[in-house]
Amino acid sequence: MVGKLLLGAVLIAVPSVSSGATLRGQTPTVEFAFSELVTLAKDIAPGATPYGNRNIVPITGGSFEGPDIRGQIMPGGWDWQLRRADGCSDLRADYMLKTDDGVIINIVNQGSLCAPKPGEPLTARTLVRFEAPIGKYDWLSRHAFVGTLELAPQPDGTPAVRIGVWMVK
């Protein structure tokens, strides 16, 4: 079946996909890229806004490592959180990675975190975007990534999170 799409003054034939159709070869899989241990400072709570309760968490450092990449989390990033009326929080962390060979890469990790059911660990799933310089690590800018996030307080009491990053293939 073919549908029609009017774009400006040009009529284009567009194949339609029925709800029962399958896309052969299009089922995504994931491949482990790296894990991060991100250390945090005490959060800052500006309070209620028209959109929800705002909370910001300074990112102080950490490390990351995977099969093809490793290095340090640069201090100075932030995790911008917004507590919604349904009890979940929207998360948007924006920070920089510095690879062991000196390349600086921007990472934006965005998702939602909802309270777990009793007895379950606190985890979140995120969408991860990279802005990597052209070169050795530009594969980060060319693929889609998903993340996992869980609390990982350090033995000295420093707040931290562990993030797993997975490339969607």
- Start-to-end CA distance of the chain, whole Å, equals 29
Under a CB-based contact definition with an 8 Å cutoff, are residues 105 and 130 in contact? Answer: yes
Q: The domain spanning residue 102 has which CATH number?
A: 2.40.160.20
Cβ 128 vs Cβ 107: under 8 Å = yes
User: Does 8 reside within a domain?
Assistant: no
The reply to whether 49 falls in a domain is yes
Residue 3 lies in a domain: no
**pLDDT attached to residue 68:** 95
Residue tagged 């290095």 (tokens): 71
Strand 30-40 relative to strand 52-65, pairing = antiparallel
| Structural domains of the chain, count | 1
Domain assignment of residue 79, given as a range:
22-168
Q: Within a domain: residue 73? A: yes
Per-residue pLDDT of the chain (169 residues; tens, 9 = 90+): 444 444 444 444 545 555 556 667 788 999 999 999 999 999 999 989 999 999 999 999 999 999 999 999 999 999 999 999 888 899 999 999 999 999 999 999 999 988 888 888 777 899 999 999 999 999 999 999 999 999 898 999 999 999 999 999 9
pTM above 0.85, yes or no: no
